[in-house]
Amino acid sequence: MVAVELGQDDDLARAAVVAAAVLDPEIPVITLEDLGVFRGAVRRQGRVIVTLTPTYTGCPATAAIQFAVEAALLKAGLADARVETVLSPPWTTDDITEAGRAKLLAYGIAPPNQSTPHGLFAEDAVACPRCGATTTTKLSEFGSTACKALWRCDACREPFDYFKCHR
Amino acid sequence: MTTTLASTMQAAIFELSLALGDDALVLGHRLTEWSSRAPMLEEDIALSNLGLDLIGQARLFYTYAGEVEGKGRREDDLAYFRDAAAYRNLLIVELEIGDFAHTIARQFLYAAFVHPYFQALAKSGDARLAEIAAKAVKEMAYHLRHASEWMIRLGDGTAESKRRVTSALDDLWGYTDEMFEVMPGERALIAAGNAPDRTAIKPKWAATVDAVLREATLTRPADRGMQSGGRQGRHTEALDHMLAEMQVLARQHPGATW
């Protein structure tokens, strides 16, 4: 949930709502709140500060996300608001909300497992987001982005993205 | 006295952040050289993604180094406007990519060190170093797994893959000791609980290396002719060539945007 008290500071509350609702540029069905990268909004020395956290350190979407939030704040008439990045606590896929997981699934991306086996050659068990079958095969540890792996369903034969567990 | 102590500590934090940033950037850049030419599409994407992680880590270390130094240098200044002699990276990360076996063996030897190193750095008394390490360690766990699996496939694969990975290990082994060399300024950081002691990481590294090599049916090379000098700016010619390519655009068009 957006971490502000409504009714007390209208601009702050609005900034939080606007920033939280910005869509992820690479998975445009989930919001920054769903993804867990929106960390909150505070007022510091009179100025509204929106804080975000990156997913992977090298994720090229980090800058795009910041621009998108700045643009959304500007559009909402909050030209004075500023966006800051925080690293701690580090983002994990556990920060993806239940709503976010449901949206990923509906979009055809298997949501991340809550843990990943750490042993060598250990395989995750991932259900196909299309037909639900659990007989699936990992094709590649890396997919279209750093956060996804490429899998194939052995039942319906469709390839799909798996949002990797990262924690 | 207090001021001197504090400024010595700041200088040491700058040096360490810079060295860690250089390790990550140089290795990250080397990995990107595989883009479009890896032996298979999956590995092409994998190596590029691993490179992105490292470049992301370098940006965090450089940004912090620039802030600690207090001379207004930003990440791009540190990456693009220093010559090889000012780079503080380990020699192992700057060597040419060689064949796929060389790239995998280097990635394995480095990740097996930096993963436990970051685990320890995440407990640093310096909050910023700790939070960067806590973020990076998750990524390096992945790098280590990826490289370890490939070491086993190559070592326990065909006669040709075994020959190549054995040759890669022999070539790289002499560069592994430098990872455990404590830089002069680092001693004060270790004493103050701001940085882990690299020498204490070596047994963990050795255990990982031995376990994977055993499964890969490979033999650990003997320690001889161990190289160092990267932390003092004494680099191989390979770094000059790499930096020339990496820095040319920024130097010919300072401040360029796209």
Please state, in angstroms and rounded to a whole number, the distance separating the CA atoms of residues B116 and B24: 15
Give the whole-angstrom CA distance, residue A113 versus residue A134.
13
A111 prior amide bond cis, ω within 30: no
Residue B135 contacts A, CB cutoff 8 Å: yes
Kindly state whether residue A32 falls inside one of the protein's structural domains: yes
pLDDT tens track for B215-229: 999 999 999 999 999
Residue B258 lies in a domain: no
Residue owning tokens 């990268």 = A37
Contact at 8 Å (CB) between A22 and A66? no
Task: Please give the Cα distance from B136 to B125 (Å, whole number).
Answer: 17
Q: What is the tens place of the pLDDT at every residue in B168-201?
A: 999 999 999 999 999 999 999 999 999 999 999 9
Contacts of A66 in chain B (CB under 8 A): none
Does the pLDDT value for residue A5 go beyond 60?
Answer: no
Beta strands A109-110; A159-163: pairing state: parallel
pLDDT score recorded for residue A122: 74
**Residue B171 in domain:** yes
Shortest Cα distance from B49 to chain A (angstroms)? Answer: 6
The answer to whether the Cβ–Cβ distance between B57 and A167 falls below 8 Å is no
The pLDDT tens digits for B24-57 are 999 999 999 999 999 998 899 999 999 999 999 9
Block residue for tokens 């608001």: A81
Instruction: Tell which residue, A48, A16, A56, A46, has the closest CA to residue A33.
Output: A16
Task: Give the residue-averaged pLDDT of B74-80.
Answer: 97
Amino acid letter for position B138: K
Q: What is the domain range of residue A157?
A: 95-163
Distance of residue A18 Cα from the nearest chain B Cα, in angstroms: 27
Q: Which strands sit side by side in the sheet containing A136-140, from one edge to the other?
A: A109-110, A159-163, A148-153, A136-140
pLDDT in tens, A103-122: 999 999 999 998 776 677 77
Count of Cβ atoms closer than 10 Å to residue A20 Cβ = 23
The SS3 assignment for A158 reads: coil
Regarding whether A155 and A118 lie in a shared domain, the answer is yes
The stretch B62-80 carries a mean pLDDT of 97
For residue A162, the chain B residues in CB contact (below 8 A) are: none
Question: Are the C-beta atoms of residues A154 and A126 closer than 8 Å to each other?
Answer: no
Q: Residue B234 sits in which domain range?
A: 2-252
Q: Are residues A60 and A109 in the same domain?
A: no
The number of helix segments (H) and strand segments (E) in chain B equals 10, 0
- Give the residue on A whose Cα is nearest the Cα of B61: A57
The CA distance from A139 to A137, in Å, is 6
Say if A2 falls within a structural domain: no
Chain B: closest CA distance from residue A146 (Å): 6
- How far is B183 from B231, CA to CA, in rounded Å? 7
Residues of chain A with Cβ-Cβ distance to B45 below 8 Å are 140, 142-143
Give the number of domains in chain B: 1
Total tally of structural domains belonging to chain A: 2
The DSSP output letter for B222 is P
The letter for the amino acid at B125 is G
Picking from A65, A91, A117, the residue at the C-terminal end of a domain is A91
> Rounded to a whole number, what is the distance in Å from the CA of B16 to chain A's nearest CA?
19
Q: Are A99 and A82 part of one and the same domain?
A: no
Its ipTM equals 0.85
Q: Would you say residue A73 lies in a domain?
A: yes
**Pairing of β A136-140 and β A148-153:** antiparallel
The answer to the question of residue B257 being in a domain is no
A71 & A123 share domain: no
DSSP β-ladder status, A159-163 and A148-153? antiparallel
Chain A interface includes B145 (CB < 8 A) = yes
Interchain proximity B53–A150, CB inside 8 Å: no
CB A110 within 8 A of CB A126: yes
Which of A37, A52, A56 should be substituted to probe chain B, the one whose Cβ sees the most B Cβ atoms within 10 Å?
A56
- A81 and A152 inside one domain: no
Q: What is the pLDDT of residues B203-219, one digit of tens each?
A: 999 999 999 999 999 99
Inter-chain residue contact A142 with B52, CB threshold 8 Å: no
Q: Do B53 and A139 touch (CB under 8 A)?
A: no
**B53 vs A141: CB contact, 8 Å cut-off?**
no
